[in-house]
Amino acid sequence: MKTISLKKVSAVAVASLAFGTFTAIAPAQAAMTSFTISKNSASSGVIKCSQSLTSNASTTITAGGGVCLSDALTPAGTGVWAPGDSGFFGKILTNTTAGGGTAATLTAASPAQAVVPLAFYTGAVASTTVATGVVADTISGMTTTTGAAGLLLLTLDGTITGTSGKARMTIGGTVIGASDVTGVATDTRLVIPFTAPVAAGTYTASVQVSVGGNYTGTGADTFTQPFTLTVTAATTLSTALSTAYMTEPSANGASASSTTNGVARSAYKTADTAIAQVKVTLLKADGTADTSAHVINTIVSGVGYTAVSANANTPGTAKTRSASFPQNGSNLSYVKINSDGTAGSGTVTVSVTHAVTGVETTLGTFSYTSYGDVAALAVSTTNATIGKASSTTGASVAARTVAGNLLGVLDTSGNLTVPAFIVKATDSAGRVANAALAPSVVSLTSPAVATGGTCTLDNGALPTTASSSTNGIGYYNCNFATASSAKSGDKATLTIRIVDPADATKYISTTFDVTVGGSVSTEVLSFDKTAYAPGEGMVVTRTGKDSSGNPVADGTASPAVSFSKAVGGTAPAAGFYKGGASASSTSAATASVFAPSVAGAFNAIATSSATGAPTITASSSVTDANAGLMTQIDALNAKIVALNALIAKIMKKLGVK
């Protein structure tokens, strides 16, 4: 048997914890130095896979019998090691989804294998620093962090021929890592997984190898190499950097953010109905993931149930008012919030208890509601009330779009998303609520004028500046249709209703009044003032009437407006009539177009769609600010002259010369 000596040792690191590597050498060799290996915040630590891994001078490796090569466990840059001749396989370039996470591509071809190992390890790859005068690849110690998991890969000067040997790493006689030697004639490497002490300090550690089955031998079968192990305090949990964000309950949990956190969450009161989920991300003070066994705690105030797990988008059937979850091996967890069978408001407070200190810190408090059966309907928004005969006004769609919201309520392109009116449904406490079925729109008294309409629950896909609802709760986008027999000026009252959840023989309802208008017959332009100061805000209004003198149908196109002089702001673009008018703004205070800066008369001009009136105009003027000032100066001069005359008269009476 050849003499066995330790020649080289490498190390891999647990996630986010700094490690060092060393090479144990024979006492006769030169002094050595220490160094620190790189961090890997994406890895869950040194992982042992008790299964075969095949690679024969190839860039592809395959693990059998389990998922040890997934992106979550072994991201790009992760190293792969094995006992035996293979030693260091190399770094992972990419993983493949095929085979359930059992295959990966290396950055370079692996060493050829004489024997397929029964286990392999993955973790962060060590980096090497060599001081001047020191033999390359040799160091006298290593630096690690408290409680860290690591891995030593030993390269032996000789082969392992025994089958009952052992290798271990000790501090003061206490074993912190051990590995059985399973020898074959060609093996020159073995690995020792270890756990660093939990207290910071400088330790004298030893690596021992014995092929004889124990560590008491004195011959060539046994070798002991001391080295210095420096243990530093690990970077610990930062509750200031850690986050907790609420989002929808059954999808996109991993995408939770401060934006989704600002969206109100609500669901029906039936027990176990999913309301929301909260993504908790634990980070260390250096911004890396903290995968320690800190405990995530939740407690409910008000209505609701809660639970915690490592899985996103799984509401589950939690029936507890509080929950705790030891977060170990990952820095992510998900808090589930469900209804408890009652309607009302609730909050869930999410906190973390430090695994070492036991200190509990609140990460966030999240409010939500659960609603009861619909008890009332009301029209909350009105976009159109004047329909056109034999036409549908507005859109009844779930998903509103920015582009569709810019179209008129009579648009027939299929892209319109503006509802004619929006119905709000609430429960007995006034909370927005969804009905079992969307409200129906019926014409009970005037079917010859308006035939009814449809309503669709808004899905809340856009912000409320573009959608009707928040989170798709309680708001319905509705349209209405007018009969072919309807005439300009006709009126009808539509009934919007649902079956009363408390009594199936009754309805919960509200009403909506509509009228009928025609196409443009006359069209005029007007200003809100006959004269403006230079740059003053203006309201320019287009008014359209049909052949019966009634306001044109809502959604009828209104023309763009131009001016005979340069104006400030933006000239009114083409738009749509509502209530027979299309104004540039609602008031001068909100004006988007401003009077010219030059004094004198000016005109507003538009091309009309009315027959026989291709151009319509309106006139106004801008006052001369200087002329007004001169008038004031003249008036002041006149007063001065009169005052001088009065003074002269008084002095004459007094005999003053």
- Asked whether residue 362 falls in the same domain as residue 389, the answer is no
3-state DSSP of 282-300: EEECCCCECCCCEEEEEEE
C-alpha to C-alpha distance for 439 and 418, rounded to whole angstroms:
18
Residue 99 pLDDT > 80, yes or no?
Answer: no
Domain at 443, CATH number: 2.60.40
φ, ψ at 298 (rounded to 5°): -135, 150
Residue 449 pLDDT > 70, yes or no?
Answer: yes
Q: What are the DSSP calls for 350-402, one per residue?
A: EEEE-TTT--EEEEEEEEEEEE-S--EEEEEEES--EEETT-EES---SS--T
C-alpha to C-alpha distance for 333 and 294, rounded to whole angstroms:
11
Q: What is the mean pLDDT of residues 429-443?
A: 96
- The more confidently predicted of residues 316 and 138 is 316
Of 118-127, 141-150, 293-302, 559-568, which range is least confident? 118-127
- Asked whether residue 55 falls in the same domain as residue 67, the answer is yes
- Asked whether residue 609 falls in the same domain as residue 636, the answer is no
Residue 345 pLDDT > 50, yes or no?
Answer: yes
- The more confidently predicted of residues 50 and 217 is 50
Q: Is 607 within a domain?
A: yes
SS3 361: strand
Q: Which residues pair with 60 in a beta bridge?
A: 105
C-alpha to C-alpha distance for 294 and 308, rounded to whole angstroms:
13
Q: How far, CA to CA in Å, does 299 sit from each of 309, 322, 324, 596, 633?
A: 14, 4, 9, 63, 76
Q: How many CB atoms lie within 10 A of CB 199?
A: 10
CA torsion sign for 442, 446, 451, 456 is negative
Domain at 325, CATH number: 2.60.40.10
**Which residues form the domain of 279?**
237-371
Identity of the amino acid at 354: H
Q: Is 167 within a domain?
A: yes
Q: Using CA atoms in the order 293, 299, 305, 306, what is the torsion angle rounded to 10 degrees?
A: -20
Q: Which residue has the tokens 């359930």?
A: 100
- DSSP character at residue 263: S
Residue 110 pLDDT > 90, yes or no?
Answer: no
- Asked whether residue 46 falls in the same domain as residue 160, the answer is yes
Spatial strand order in the sheet of 201-210: 6-12, 149-156, 189-195, 174-181, 165-171, 201-210, 222-232, 141-145
Is 120 in contact with 169 (CB distance < 8 Å)? no
Q: How many CB atoms lie within 10 A of CB 281?
A: 16
Q: Which residues pair with 103 in a beta bridge?
A: 62
C-alpha to C-alpha distance for 9 and 155, rounded to whole angstroms:
7
- DSSP character at residue 405: G
Longest distance between any two alpha carbons in the chain, whole Å: 146
pLDDT digits (tens, 9 = 90+) for 291-344: 888 999 999 999 999 999 999 998 877 789 999 999 877 899 999 999 999 999
C-alpha to C-alpha distance for 584 and 284, rounded to whole angstroms:
55
SS3 422: strand
pLDDT score of 178: 81
SS3 351: strand
- Read off the pLDDT band of 67 (50, 70, 90): low
φ, ψ at 651 (rounded to 5°): -65, -35
CB crowding 222-240: b at 16 or more within 10 Å, else e:
bbebebbbbbbebbbbebe
- The more confidently predicted of residues 37 and 151 is 151
- Write down which residue in 321, 340, 371 finishes a domain: 371
Q: What is the mean pLDDT of residues 98-120?
A: 72
Q: How many CA atoms, within 13 angstroms, populate the side-chain half-sphere of residue 439?
A: 38
Residue 186 pLDDT > 70, yes or no?
Answer: no
- The more confidently predicted of residues 548 and 23 is 548
Residue 19 pLDDT > 50, yes or no?
Answer: no
φ, ψ at 643 (rounded to 5°): -65, -40
pLDDT score of 84: 60
pLDDT score of 230: 79
Q: Is 511 within a domain?
A: yes
Q: What is the mean pLDDT of residues 410-439?
A: 96
- The more confidently predicted of residues 134 and 48 is 48
Is 18 in contact with 124 (CB distance < 8 Å)? no
C-alpha to C-alpha distance for 491 and 513, rounded to whole angstroms:
7
Closest CA to 144 of 32, 288, 14, 237: 14
pLDDT digits (tens, 9 = 90+) for 463-496: 778 899 988 999 999 999 999 999 999 999 999 9
- Asked whether residue 21 falls in the same domain as residue 161, the answer is yes
Residue 538 pLDDT > 70, yes or no?
Answer: yes
Residue 263 pLDDT > 90, yes or no?
Answer: no
- Read off the pLDDT band of 645 (50, 70, 90): confident
pLDDT digits (tens, 9 = 90+) for 194-235: 788 888 899 988 777 765 555 554 444 456 667 777 787 777
- Asked whether residue 565 falls in the same domain as residue 528, the answer is yes
Residue 580 pLDDT > 90, yes or no?
Answer: yes
Question: Beta strands 491-499 and 440-442: pairing type?
Answer: antiparallel
Angle at Cα 457 formed by Cα 474 and Cα 463, nearest 5°? 75
pLDDT score of 9: 37
pLDDT digits (tens, 9 = 90+) for 378-407: 999 999 999 999 999 999 999 999 999 999
Is 261 in contact with 248 (CB distance < 8 Å)? no
Q: Is 633 within a domain?
A: yes
CA torsion sign for 306, 308, 313, 316 is negative
Identity of the amino acid at 325: F
pLDDT score of 39: 24
Q: What is the mean pLDDT of residues 240-246?
A: 95
Closest CA to 246 of 336, 379, 331: 336
Q: Which residues pair with 82 in a beta bridge?
A: 87
C-alpha to C-alpha distance for 204 and 171, rounded to whole angstroms:
6
- The more confidently predicted of residues 633 and 248 is 248
Q: What are the DSSP calls for 554-594, one per residue?
A: TT-EE--EEESS--EE-PPPPEE-BTTEEES-SSGGG-SEE
Which of 68-77, 225-234, 426-435 is predicted most confidently?
A: 426-435
Q: Is 652 within a domain?
A: yes
Percent of the chain with pLDDT over 70: 76
pLDDT score of 35: 24
- Asked whether residue 15 falls in the same domain as residue 136, the answer is yes
3-state DSSP of 589-630: HHCCEECCCCCEEEEEEEECCCCCCCEEEEEEEECCHHHHHH
Domain at 604, CATH number: 2.60.40.1930
- Read off the pLDDT band of 650 (50, 70, 90): confident
pLDDT score of 315: 86
- Asked whether residue 618 falls in the same domain as residue 636, the answer is no
- Write down which residue in 197, 232, 267 finishes a domain: 232
- Asked whether residue 635 falls in the same domain as residue 609, the answer is no
Which of 155-159, 283-287, 373-377, 626-630 is predicted most confidently?
A: 373-377
Q: What is the mean pLDDT of residues 174-193?
A: 68
- Read off the pLDDT band of 118 (50, 70, 90): low
- Read off the pLDDT band of 179 (50, 70, 90): confident
Q: Is 29 within a domain?
A: yes
- The per-residue pLDDT of the chain, averaged, comes to 81
Q: Using CA atoms in the order 43, 48, 52, 56, what is the torsion angle rounded to 10 degrees?
A: 50
Q: What is the mean pLDDT of residues 344-351?
A: 97
- Asked whether residue 382 falls in the same domain as residue 338, the answer is no
Tokens of 98: 């095929």
pLDDT score of 536: 95
- Write down which residue in 517, 549, 566 finishes a domain: 517
- Asked whether residue 324 falls in the same domain as residue 426, the answer is no
Give the total number of structural domains in the chain. 5
- Read off the pLDDT band of 133 (50, 70, 90): very low
- The more confidently predicted of residues 123 and 517 is 517
- The more confidently predicted of residues 88 and 525 is 525
Q: How many CB atoms lie within 10 A of CB 430?
A: 10
Question: In sequence order, which residues have a C-beta less than 8 Å from that of residue 646 and are 6 or more positions away?
Answer: none
Rg (CA), the chain: 41
Q: Is 1 within a domain?
A: no
- Asked whether residue 261 falls in the same domain as residue 223, the answer is no
pLDDT score of 91: 85
